[in-house]
Amino acid sequence: MENDTQRGVLPAESFFIEPLDVLVFRGNKLFGAPGSFGENQMPPWPSVVAGALRTHMLDLAGVSLSDFMAQSGSEKGSYASDEIVESLGTVAHPGRFAVTWFSLGRRTNSGTIERLFPLPHDLFIIKDGKEKRKIVPVVPIGPDDLRGVATNAVLPWLPSLLLSSQSKGESGFFLGEEGFLDYLAGRIPDPSALVHQSELWGIDPRVGIGLDVSSRTASEGRLFSSETIALKSGVGFVVDVVGASGLIAKKALLRFGGDGRAAHMEKIESFKRKGASLSKGNRFRLVMTTPGIFSHGPYPVSPEGPAPLVDGGPVVRLLSASVGRSQTVSGWDLARRVPKAAQKAVPVGSVYWFQVVEGDPSRLNDDASAAGASFLEGLSRDRVSEGYNRGLITPWLS
């Protein structure tokens, strides 16, 4: 199997971002009538950290945002050194910079940073008769075992939760790093690896008042409430970046999220994970580690027939999928000063089951998007830079 350099895959640098204040991550919801409540998107979209880091890079290079915006339509800018321009590009033609991982993280007692991953959609948490948590896998069932079962499913295999008795699932959990590594190896994580979101952050409601645009004074009767995110001590965000080697400070302060709240950033050791290994029958899973914006609705490839998943890779067939409720991704384009187009996205943790039908399975890399995955087609280059459509290839759970 080719190494990263031979495939043209850029090495990633990892950073830990720890807030110094409450954070504001506005979701894709407008404020309604007076007295309405503004909810936050937590965890935030990867575009939040992409914007913060690119702003930091411009500031470190002594480039003002107005200078960067002045060449927004150029194919190749001249606002800074060649290294910066090749990394960031221009507004119309983004450069090599890209976010390849974005998740919560926390400091351990030894001082290292542990990555935390939202519970994948092929794992289900229940409590047994002794009130102990148990992780149960969602498994795809093939057509041979579905004879006589009527369904309108698009895909030939059905994701199924096999329980001996009815049980209500629990939500709001993340997998610790060791549990996530077990999961990537095709093993069911131990329940001790679960971390509930209440251990990671809390909600701090704030009251605000609308302003009159012309006079910049308070407008009568325009009170509103909004959420802010208060992370627990030692909790922050982990981000992996490619295409910016040496252009991001090893330690720095960032403006992060809405209102430009302060956060401390430091470089950390990169995540060590092994290459992909396929299950029997050349089967594998694709687990989304960032939201996915696909040209085939909720699917990374067409559900109608075999197709390559990664450029130059084998032809695969999509067998089944366990996808969470879709999200609407938008945002504000600071350079163009316009809203970004709203797009439907599948959430982090969505899982797809595949089978290789033609070609060399060894061409599959553990980071499906590192080799220029086919499911990046149809996604605008700026969304690629912001970290969308990232996933990991793993064996089926055993």
* Residue 301 token pair: 């490839």
Judge whether residue 126 has pLDDT over 50.
Answer: yes
Cα–Cα distance for residue pair 219/359, rounded to 1 Å: 65
**Per-residue pLDDT tens over the stretch 306-357:** 888 877 778 899 999 999 999 888 888 777 778 888 889 999 999 999 999 9
Q: Using CA of residue 278, residue 279, residue 283, residue 288, what is the dihedral sign? A: negative
Domain positions in the chain are 283-394
Instruction: In whole angstroms, give the CA distance from residue 280 to residue 277.
Output: 10
Q: How far apart are alpha carbons 392 and 395 in whole angstroms? A: 10
Q: Given this model, what pLDDT does residue 2 score?
A: 35
3-state secondary structure 321-370: EECCCCEEECCEECCCCEECCCEEEECCCCEEEEEEEECCHHHCCCECCC
> In which band, very low, low, confident or very high, does the pLDDT at 305 lie, cut at 50, 70 and 90?
confident
Among 389, 198, 233, 244, which Cα is nearest to 309's? 389
How sure is the predictor about 28, in pLDDT bands with cuts at 50, 70 and 90?
low
Res. 274 pLDDT band, cuts 50 70 90: low
Query: What is the C-alpha end-to-end distance of the chain, expressed in Å?
Result: 25
Cα-flanking dihedrals φ and ψ of residue 20, to 5°? -105, 5
Instruction: Please tell me which residue, 123 or 93, carries the higher pLDDT value.
Output: 123
Query: For the structural domain made of 283-394, what CATH number should be given?
Result: 2.60.40.4350
Instruction: Sort 316 into a burial class: Cβ within 10 Å, 0-12 / 13-18 / 19+.
Output: buried
Judge contact between 179 and 160, C-beta under 8 A.
Answer: no
Whether 369 has a pLDDT exceeding 90, the answer reads: no
Report whether pLDDT(151) > 60: yes
Evaluate whether 362 touches 296 at the Cβ level (below 8 Å).
no
Mean pLDDT, the chain, whole residue set: 84
Q: Which amino acid is at 290?
A: T
Asked if the model's pLDDT at residue 31 lies above 50, the reply is yes
Residue 174, pLDDT above cutoff 70 = yes
Angstrom CA distances, 214 to 70, 96, 141, 218, 383, stand at 28, 42, 62, 11, 35
Contact 200, 174 (CB under 8 A): yes
For residues 109 and 172, is the Cβ–Cβ distance under 8 A? Answer: no
CB atoms within 10 A of CB 55: 17
**Considering only 277-291, 313-327, 366-380, which range has the smallest mean pLDDT?**
366-380
Q: What is the pLDDT of residue 6?
A: 32
Q: Is the pLDDT assigned to residue 156 strictly greater than 70?
A: yes
Above 80 in pLDDT, residue 75?
Answer: no
111-120, 124-133, 215-224, 381-390: which range is least confident on average? Answer: 215-224
CA distance 241 to 246: 11
- Rounded to whole angstroms, how far apart are CA atoms 198 and 229? 12
CA angle 255, 257, 261 (to 5 degrees): 50
188, 135 Cβ separation under 8 angstroms? yes
Sheet with 37-38, edge to edge strand ranges: 37-38, 218-231, 201-211
Q: Given this model, what pLDDT does residue 10 score?
A: 57
Q: Cis ω on the peptide bond leading into residue 303 (within 30° of 0)?
A: no
The residues, any chain, with a CB within 8 Å of residue 261's CB and separated by 6 or more, are: 19, 20, 21, 22, 23, 24, 255
The tens digit of pLDDT for each residue in 37-54 reads: 667 888 999 999 999 999
List, in sequence order, every residue forming a beta bridge with 327; answer none if it has no partner.
345
Find which of 33-47, 155-169, 265-279 is predicted with most confidence, using mean pLDDT. Answer: 155-169
- In Å, how far are 212, 214, 220 from 217, measured between CA atoms? 5, 8, 9
Please state, in angstroms and as integers, the Cα–Cα distance from residue 289 to each residue in 63, 121, 286, 331, following that order.
32, 12, 9, 20
Please tell me the distance from the alpha carbon of residue 43 to that of residue 62, in angstroms, as a whole number.
Answer: 31
Q: Which of 262-276, 331-345, 360-374 has the lowest mean pLDDT?
A: 360-374
Q: What does the pLDDT read at residue 291?
A: 92
Q: Residue 328 contacts by C-beta under 8 Å, 6 or more apart in sequence?
A: 28, 342, 343, 344, 345
Can you tell me the distance from the alpha carbon of 37 to that of 41, in angstroms, rounded to the nearest whole number?
13
